[in-house]
Amino acid sequence: MRFEELPTPCFLVDEGLLVQNLEILQQLMERTGCRILLAQKAFSMFYFYPLIGQYLSGATASGLYEARLGAREMGKENHIYCPAYRDSEFDEVVSLCDHIVFNSFSQLDRFGAKARSAGRSVGLRVNPECSTQEGHAIYDPCAPFSRLGVTAKNFDPDRLDGVDGLHFHTLCEQDADALSQTLDAVEVSFGSYLSRMKWINFGGGHHITRPGYDLPLLEACIARVQERYGVQVYLEPGEAVALNAGFLVCSVLDVLHNGMDLAIVDASAACHMPDVLEMPYRPPLRHSAEAGEKAHTYRLGGNTCLAGDVIGDYSFDEPLQLGSRLLFEDMAIYSMVKTNTFNGMALPSIAVRDSRGDCHIVRKFDYEDFRTRLS
């Protein structure tokens, strides 16, 4: 079908745009020898896993279900890091995952031997205590009292037996300068153990596919660690894989006025793009401008009863009308994976635009999807 025929609300992921990102990542692997994994937490649209697997080394998971998805739908290198594994799931984790990363020495003591005896590569997440991001404490694993990763103070070199790799993840939507600064901190705290390792995983948060990202500095960071310590470098970006490759298409259901013009759309910030409220940020909207810049300004709100379900203020050349279609941009990442059915909101359909420009719906949701998560 044509784009105009897509039902709304609908997530639309554009294969051509996804491939542009994958090519950048693949070329980086070829130039540096690093390996890149899809962090499924950001983008779990498994329809595209066979395609992604043609470019990347594999996938990484934050827990058992993502690990299953990566194993079954991509079937390449399958890594996992989880803040704490459960006894009841660990056998399956071992059966699915090539690299198993632990968050603490107590978890390593509890499960490490089992992972090793199955031939899995064992890693430990470290916390270099180097905050490089301002304003987003919720996304900063280096913030005080963080539960994520072992700090230098808690690090016990005598318990590293059988550990093949170190993992850190501290960045969020950042450029390579923040990585370089973080590597300095990693080397100060953990550098003396790196030569005993086979690999190091730089985590995610690298905005590699963003226009203007400093690729040469990233390459220098990778080379520096590979040469100094002889380790295999892994990166596991989520965002960068599907950055700017998807949209949320919605329609205007009503237009009202209360001190300013308002429009209600058939999507919801709370249900379909929760980062808009959590981060918070104002998502880009095609053919719109900042409030007041164009002739007609509206506050766009979702179709829930939550007063704060507001997407943002936008201006348009023409007045909005019942049925006007709106295209929110950069909605492939941290959107589909975070949707919920609060207020009984329908989940957006999932559609793709293929390499020829044709749109197809790959998944539709209905009342049963709402009902089956409740009882």
Three-state secondary-structure class, residue 51: helix
Residue 89 assigned as binding residue: no
Residue-wise DSSP of 69-118: HIIIII-SEEEEE-SS--HHHHHHHHHH-SEEEESSHHHHHHHHHHHHHT
CB of 36 vs ligand PLP, minimal distance in Å: 11
| Min separation Cβ 59 and ligand PLP, Å | 11
How many alpha carbons fall within 13 Å on the CB side of residue 331?
Answer: 33
The residue among 84, 11, 5, 38 whose CA lies nearest residue 247 is: 11
Decide whether 42 or 108 has the Cβ nearer to ligand PLP.
42
C-alpha 79/C-alpha 141 separation (Å) is 20
Is residue 10 helix, strand or coil?
Answer: strand
CB closer to ligand PLP, 42 vs 245: 42
Q: What is the DSSP string of 238-277?
A: SHHHHTT-EEEEEEEEEEEESSSEEEEESS-HHHH-THHH
Choose between 173 and 369: whose C-beta lies nearer to ligand PLP: 173
Residue closer to ligand PLP by CB (options 58, 237) is 237
Using DSSP's 3-state secondary structure scheme, residue 178 falls into helix
| In the complex, least distance from residue 315 CB atom to ligand PLP, rounded to whole angstroms | 31
Q: Least distance (Å) from ligand PLP to the CB of residue 212?
A: 17
List residues binding ligand PLP (CB under 6 A).
39, 41-42, 81, 169, 172, 203-205, 236-240
Our CB check for ligand PLP shows the closer of 221 and 326 to be 221
To the question of whether residue 275 is assigned a binding role by annotation, the answer is yes
Binding residues: 239, 275
Binding residues for substrate: 239, 275
